[in-house]
Homo-oligomer: A and B are copies of this chain.
Protein backbone atom coordinates (compact mmCIF):
# COMPACT_ATOMS: atom_id res chain seq x y z
CA UNK A 1 0.00 0.00 0.00
CA UNK A 2 1.32 3.43 -0.88
CA UNK A 3 -0.06 6.07 1.41
CA UNK A 4 0.58 9.66 0.39
CA UNK A 5 1.55 11.96 3.22
CA UNK A 6 0.88 15.64 2.56
CA UNK A 7 2.82 18.13 4.66
CA UNK A 8 1.76 21.45 6.10
CA UNK A 9 3.22 23.56 3.27
CA UNK A 10 1.06 22.08 0.54
CA UNK A 11 -1.93 21.84 2.88
CA UNK A 12 -1.59 25.55 3.66
CA UNK A 13 -1.65 26.38 -0.03
CA UNK A 14 -5.03 24.75 -0.66
CA UNK A 15 -6.76 25.21 2.72
CA UNK A 16 -7.69 28.82 2.09
CA UNK A 17 -10.19 30.51 4.41
CA UNK A 18 -12.77 30.28 1.61
CA UNK A 19 -12.30 26.50 1.34
CA UNK A 20 -12.34 26.00 5.12
CA UNK A 21 -15.33 28.29 5.74
CA UNK A 22 -17.34 26.54 3.04
CA UNK A 23 -16.51 23.04 4.28
CA UNK A 24 -17.19 23.86 7.93
CA UNK A 25 -20.46 25.64 7.20
CA UNK A 26 -21.72 22.71 5.11
CA UNK A 27 -20.62 20.19 7.72
CA UNK A 28 -22.30 22.01 10.61
CA UNK A 29 -25.54 22.25 8.64
CA UNK A 30 -25.30 18.57 7.67
CA UNK A 31 -24.67 17.73 11.33
CA UNK A 32 -27.78 19.69 12.36
CA UNK A 33 -29.74 17.79 9.72
CA UNK A 34 -28.55 14.40 10.99
CA UNK A 35 -26.61 13.70 7.81
CA UNK A 36 -23.32 12.98 9.61
CA UNK A 37 -21.81 10.07 11.46
CA UNK A 38 -19.73 11.20 14.42
CA UNK A 39 -18.80 8.69 17.13
CA UNK A 40 -18.04 9.97 20.61
CA UNK A 41 -14.43 11.17 20.64
CA UNK A 42 -11.60 9.48 22.52
CA UNK A 43 -9.30 11.29 24.93
CA UNK A 44 -5.96 10.07 26.23
CA UNK A 45 -4.30 12.06 28.99
CA UNK A 46 -0.59 12.29 29.77
CA UNK A 47 -0.52 14.40 32.93
CA UNK A 48 3.22 13.95 33.47
CA UNK A 49 3.76 15.86 30.20
CA UNK A 50 0.79 18.24 30.57
CA UNK A 51 -0.53 16.48 27.50
CA UNK A 52 -3.84 15.37 26.16
CA UNK A 53 -4.72 13.79 22.85
CA UNK A 54 -8.15 13.88 21.27
CA UNK A 55 -9.12 11.40 18.60
CA UNK A 56 -12.16 12.31 16.55
CA UNK A 57 -13.77 10.63 13.60
CA UNK A 58 -16.45 11.82 11.28
CA UNK A 59 -18.24 11.33 8.03
CA UNK A 60 -20.69 13.48 6.15
CA UNK A 61 -23.22 11.26 4.38
CA UNK A 62 -22.27 10.78 0.74
CA UNK A 63 -18.79 12.26 1.08
CA UNK A 64 -16.00 10.23 -0.55
CA UNK A 65 -13.80 10.11 2.54
CA UNK A 66 -14.26 9.74 6.25
CA UNK A 67 -11.53 10.95 8.55
CA UNK A 68 -9.86 9.99 11.76
CA UNK A 69 -8.09 12.88 13.39
CA UNK A 70 -5.45 12.83 16.11
CA UNK A 71 -4.91 16.19 17.77
CA UNK A 72 -2.56 16.60 20.72
CA UNK A 73 -1.75 19.46 23.03
CA UNK A 74 1.35 18.92 25.14
CA UNK A 75 2.09 21.98 27.21
CA UNK A 76 1.32 24.80 24.80
CA UNK A 77 2.33 22.86 21.68
CA UNK A 78 -0.36 21.55 19.33
CA UNK A 79 0.31 18.66 17.04
CA UNK A 80 -1.49 16.02 15.09
CA UNK A 81 -2.59 14.72 11.77
CA UNK A 82 -5.67 13.75 9.84
CA UNK A 83 -6.15 10.41 8.16
CA UNK A 84 -8.57 10.32 5.24
CA UNK A 85 -10.11 6.93 4.43
CA UNK A 86 -12.11 5.97 1.35
CA UNK A 87 -15.68 5.63 2.60
CA UNK A 88 -16.58 3.09 -0.08
CA UNK A 89 -13.98 0.45 0.74
CA UNK A 90 -12.12 1.37 3.96
CA UNK A 91 -8.83 1.91 2.16
CA UNK A 92 -6.62 4.60 3.76
CA UNK A 93 -6.36 7.35 1.15
CA UNK A 94 -3.93 9.89 2.55
CA UNK A 95 -2.40 11.36 5.66
CA UNK A 96 -2.66 15.10 6.05
CA UNK A 97 0.33 15.77 8.29
CA UNK A 98 -1.12 19.11 9.25
CA UNK A 99 0.67 19.58 12.61
CA UNK A 100 -2.72 20.38 14.10
CA UNK A 101 -3.34 23.32 11.77
CA UNK A 102 -6.50 21.96 10.13
CA UNK A 103 -8.01 21.57 13.58
CA UNK A 104 -6.97 25.12 14.44
CA UNK A 105 -8.48 26.43 11.23
CA UNK A 106 -11.74 24.50 11.41
CA UNK A 107 -12.12 25.60 15.02
CA UNK A 108 -11.47 29.19 13.97
CA UNK A 109 -13.88 28.89 11.06
CA UNK A 110 -16.64 27.29 13.13
CA UNK A 111 -16.24 29.92 15.84
CA UNK A 112 -16.15 32.81 13.39
CA UNK A 113 -19.15 31.55 11.39
CA UNK A 114 -21.33 31.11 14.44
CA UNK A 115 -20.12 34.26 16.20
CA UNK A 116 -20.92 36.23 13.07
CA UNK A 117 -24.29 34.54 12.60
CA UNK A 118 -25.39 35.10 16.22
CA UNK A 119 -23.99 38.59 16.87
CA UNK A 120 -26.23 41.44 15.72
CA UNK A 121 -25.19 43.14 12.53
CA UNK A 122 -23.18 46.27 13.26
CA UNK A 123 -21.47 45.03 16.40
CA UNK A 124 -17.79 45.65 15.73
CA UNK A 125 -16.29 45.39 19.21
CA UNK A 126 -15.24 42.04 20.65
CA UNK A 127 -13.56 40.88 23.81
CA UNK A 128 -11.43 37.77 23.62
CA UNK A 129 -10.60 35.82 26.77
CA UNK A 130 -7.51 33.70 26.53
CA UNK A 131 -4.26 34.43 24.75
CA UNK A 132 -3.36 31.26 22.85
CA UNK A 133 -3.46 30.37 19.18
CA UNK A 134 -7.27 30.27 19.08
CA UNK A 135 -7.60 33.70 20.68
CA UNK A 136 -5.72 35.12 17.70
CA UNK A 137 -7.41 32.93 15.09
CA UNK A 138 -10.98 33.48 16.31
CA UNK A 139 -10.51 37.23 15.87
CA UNK A 140 -8.67 37.04 12.55
CA UNK A 141 -11.19 34.65 11.00
CA UNK A 142 -14.15 36.68 12.36
CA UNK A 143 -12.63 39.73 10.69
CA UNK A 144 -12.95 37.84 7.40
CA UNK A 145 -16.72 37.88 7.95
CA UNK A 146 -17.37 41.32 9.44
CA UNK A 147 -15.39 44.49 10.13
CA UNK A 148 -13.96 44.78 13.66
CA UNK A 149 -13.26 48.19 15.10
CA UNK A 150 -11.86 47.13 18.44
CA UNK A 151 -10.60 44.00 20.20
CA UNK A 152 -10.25 43.80 23.98
CA UNK A 153 -7.97 41.10 25.33
CA UNK A 154 -7.95 39.38 28.69
CA UNK A 155 -5.66 36.69 30.04
CA UNK A 156 -4.07 35.68 33.32
CA UNK A 157 -0.53 36.49 32.21
CA UNK A 158 0.11 40.15 31.28
CA UNK A 159 2.99 39.26 28.97
CA UNK A 160 0.73 36.88 27.02
CA UNK A 161 -1.94 39.59 26.77
CA UNK A 162 0.63 42.04 25.47
CA UNK A 163 1.92 39.51 22.93
CA UNK A 164 -1.58 38.85 21.59
CA UNK A 165 -2.29 42.59 21.37
CA UNK A 166 0.92 43.00 19.38
CA UNK A 167 -0.09 40.16 17.04
CA UNK A 168 -3.54 41.68 16.54
CA UNK A 169 -2.06 45.13 15.90
CA UNK A 170 0.26 43.58 13.33
CA UNK A 171 -2.94 42.50 11.58
CA UNK A 172 -4.18 46.11 11.62
CA UNK A 173 -6.63 45.60 14.46
CA UNK A 174 -7.10 48.05 17.32
CA UNK A 175 -6.32 45.77 20.29
CA UNK A 176 -6.15 46.77 23.97
CA UNK A 177 -5.55 44.79 27.16
CA UNK A 178 -8.87 45.46 28.89
CA UNK A 179 -10.96 42.36 28.22
CA UNK A 180 -12.64 42.36 31.64
CA UNK A 181 -14.31 45.68 30.80
CA UNK A 182 -16.56 43.70 28.51
CA UNK A 183 -17.85 44.00 24.98
CA UNK A 184 -21.11 43.20 23.16
CA UNK A 185 -19.44 40.13 21.67
CA UNK A 186 -17.26 37.94 23.89
CA UNK A 187 -15.22 34.97 22.68
CA UNK A 188 -13.67 32.60 25.22
CA UNK A 189 -10.69 30.48 24.17
CA UNK A 190 -9.13 29.32 27.43
CA UNK A 191 -8.34 25.91 28.90
CA UNK A 192 -10.00 27.02 32.14
CA UNK A 193 -11.25 24.48 34.66
CA UNK A 194 -13.08 27.14 36.67
CA UNK A 195 -15.46 29.74 35.24
CA UNK A 196 -13.91 32.97 33.97
CA UNK A 197 -14.70 36.26 35.81
CA UNK A 198 -18.41 37.04 35.41
CA UNK A 199 -17.72 40.75 34.94
CA UNK A 200 -16.17 40.04 31.54
CA UNK A 201 -19.64 39.11 30.26
CA UNK A 202 -21.69 42.00 31.71
CA UNK A 203 -22.02 43.81 28.38
CA UNK A 204 -22.33 40.70 26.23
CA UNK A 205 -25.10 40.36 23.67
CA UNK A 206 -23.46 37.25 22.29
CA UNK A 207 -20.89 34.84 23.75
CA UNK A 208 -19.02 32.11 21.89
CA UNK A 209 -17.12 29.57 24.00
CA UNK A 210 -14.66 27.29 22.27
CA UNK A 211 -12.31 26.19 25.07
CA UNK A 212 -14.35 23.57 26.91
CA UNK A 213 -13.59 20.43 24.95
CA UNK A 214 -13.29 17.68 27.55
CA UNK A 215 -14.67 16.67 30.93
CA UNK A 216 -13.22 18.76 33.75
CA UNK A 217 -12.88 21.90 31.71
CA UNK A 218 -15.26 24.85 31.99
CA UNK A 219 -14.84 28.52 31.13
CA UNK A 220 -18.29 30.13 30.89
CA UNK A 221 -19.97 31.07 34.19
CA UNK A 222 -23.28 29.16 34.28
CA UNK A 223 -25.09 32.49 34.88
CA UNK A 224 -24.52 33.58 31.27
CA UNK A 225 -26.79 30.78 30.06
CA UNK A 226 -29.77 31.98 32.11
CA UNK A 227 -32.48 33.11 29.72
CA UNK A 228 -30.11 33.03 26.76
CA UNK A 229 -30.69 31.64 23.30
CA UNK A 230 -28.23 28.73 23.26
CA UNK A 231 -26.68 26.98 20.27
CA UNK A 232 -24.45 23.89 20.53
CA UNK A 233 -22.32 22.24 17.86
CA UNK A 234 -23.30 18.80 19.13
CA UNK A 235 -26.10 18.40 21.65
CA UNK A 236 -24.87 15.18 23.26
CA UNK A 237 -21.24 16.24 23.34
CA UNK A 238 -21.96 19.71 24.76
CA UNK A 239 -24.26 18.18 27.35
CA UNK A 240 -21.54 15.70 28.25
CA UNK A 241 -18.53 17.96 28.50
CA UNK A 242 -19.28 21.45 27.18
CA UNK A 243 -20.12 24.60 29.09
CA UNK A 244 -23.76 23.93 28.19
CA UNK A 245 -23.56 20.72 30.22
CA UNK A 246 -21.89 22.54 33.08
CA UNK A 247 -24.75 25.07 33.09
CA UNK A 248 -27.34 22.28 32.96
CA UNK A 249 -25.69 20.56 35.92
CA UNK A 250 -25.64 23.91 37.74
CA UNK A 251 -29.42 24.01 37.29
CA UNK A 252 -29.35 27.23 35.27
CA UNK A 253 -30.84 25.84 32.07
CA UNK A 254 -32.83 22.82 30.90
CA UNK A 255 -30.99 20.04 29.02
CA UNK A 256 -33.21 20.46 25.95
CA UNK A 257 -32.79 24.21 25.80
CA UNK A 258 -30.39 24.36 22.85
CA UNK A 259 -30.51 24.41 19.07
CA UNK A 260 -27.82 23.13 16.70
CA UNK A 261 -25.40 25.78 15.47
CA UNK A 262 -25.95 24.37 11.99
CA UNK A 263 -29.63 25.29 12.23
CA UNK A 264 -28.62 28.88 13.03
CA UNK A 265 -26.27 28.91 10.05
CA UNK A 266 -29.00 27.46 7.86
CA UNK A 267 -31.99 29.49 9.07
CA UNK A 268 -30.52 32.60 10.68
CA UNK A 269 -31.14 33.89 14.21
CA UNK A 270 -34.49 34.52 15.81
CA UNK A 271 -34.95 37.83 17.66
CA UNK A 272 -33.36 37.59 21.03
CA UNK A 273 -31.82 39.43 23.93
CA UNK A 274 -28.71 37.43 24.55
CA UNK A 275 -27.14 34.36 23.04
CA UNK A 276 -24.48 31.80 23.79
CA UNK A 277 -22.76 29.35 21.43
CA UNK A 278 -21.04 26.34 22.98
CA UNK A 279 -18.56 24.73 20.59
CA UNK A 280 -16.84 21.49 21.54
CA UNK A 281 -15.64 20.53 18.08
CA UNK A 282 -17.34 17.93 15.91
CA UNK A 283 -15.66 15.34 13.75
CA UNK A 284 -17.91 16.17 10.83
CA UNK A 285 -16.06 19.46 10.36
CA UNK A 286 -12.74 17.63 10.36
CA UNK A 287 -14.10 15.26 7.76
CA UNK A 288 -15.39 18.08 5.59
CA UNK A 289 -12.22 20.15 5.75
CA UNK A 290 -9.96 17.17 5.13
CA UNK A 291 -12.15 16.08 2.24
CA UNK A 292 -12.10 19.56 0.73
CA UNK A 293 -8.32 19.79 1.06
CA UNK A 294 -7.77 16.31 -0.30
CA UNK A 295 -10.02 16.88 -3.27
CA UNK A 296 -7.78 19.83 -4.19
CA UNK A 297 -4.61 17.79 -3.72
CA UNK A 298 -5.51 14.65 -5.64
CA UNK A 299 -7.54 16.05 -8.51
Q: In the complex, are the beta carbons of B40 and A1 less than 8 A apart? A: no
In Å, the complex CA distance between A290 and B123 comes to 52
A91: chain B residues within 8 A (beta carbon): 72, 79
Give a binary string over A74-104; 1 marks a CB under 8 Å from any B CB, 0 the rest.
1001011101010111111001010100000
Given contacts A37-B44, A44-B59, A53-B90, contact A1 B83 (CB under 8 A): no
From 5 to 49 in chain A, residues with beta carbon under 8 angstroms from any chain B beta carbon are 5, 7-8, 37, 39-46, 49
In Å, the complex CA distance between A179 and B105 comes to 56
Chain B: CB-nearest residue to A1: B97
In Å, the complex CA distance between A91 and B40 comes to 23
- Expressed in whole angstroms, the minimum distance between the Cβ of A15 and any Cβ of chain B is 16
Chain B: CB-nearest residue to A48: B88
- Expressed in whole angstroms, the minimum distance between the Cβ of A41 and any Cβ of chain B is 8
Give a binary string over A126-151; 1 marks a CB under 8 Å from any B CB, 0 the rest.
00000000000000000000000000
In Å, the complex CA distance between A1 and B42 comes to 24
Q: A92 is contacted by which of B45, B77, B92, B97 (Cβ under 8 Å)?
A: B97
Q: In the complex, are the beta carbons of B88 and A68 less than 8 A apart? A: no
Q: Is A3 an interface residue (CB 8 A)?
A: yes
Chain A interface residue count, CB cutoff 8 Å, equals 42
From 110 to 129 in chain A, residues with beta carbon under 8 angstroms from any chain B beta carbon are none
In Å, the complex CA distance between A74 and B90 comes to 6
A173: chain B residues within 8 A (beta carbon): none
Q: A55 is contacted by which of B37, B57, B99 (Cβ under 8 Å)?
A: B57
Q: Is A154 an interface residue (CB 8 A)?
A: no
Q: Is A184 an interface residue (CB 8 A)?
A: no
Given contacts A1-B97, A42-B55, A68-B68, contact A49 B83 (CB under 8 A): no
Chain B: CB-nearest residue to A100: B90
Residues of A within 8 A of B (CB): 1-3, 5, 7-8, 37, 39-46, 49, 51, 53, 55, 57, 59, 66, 68, 70, 72-74, 77, 79-81, 83, 85, 87-92, 95, 97, 99
14 additional contacts (CB under 8 A) given A53-B85, A70-B92, A79-B90: A3-B97, A39-B42, A39-B43, A46-B90, A49-B87, A51-B88, A51-B90, A53-B57, A53-B90, A55-B68, A72-B89, A74-B90, A77-B89, A95-B95
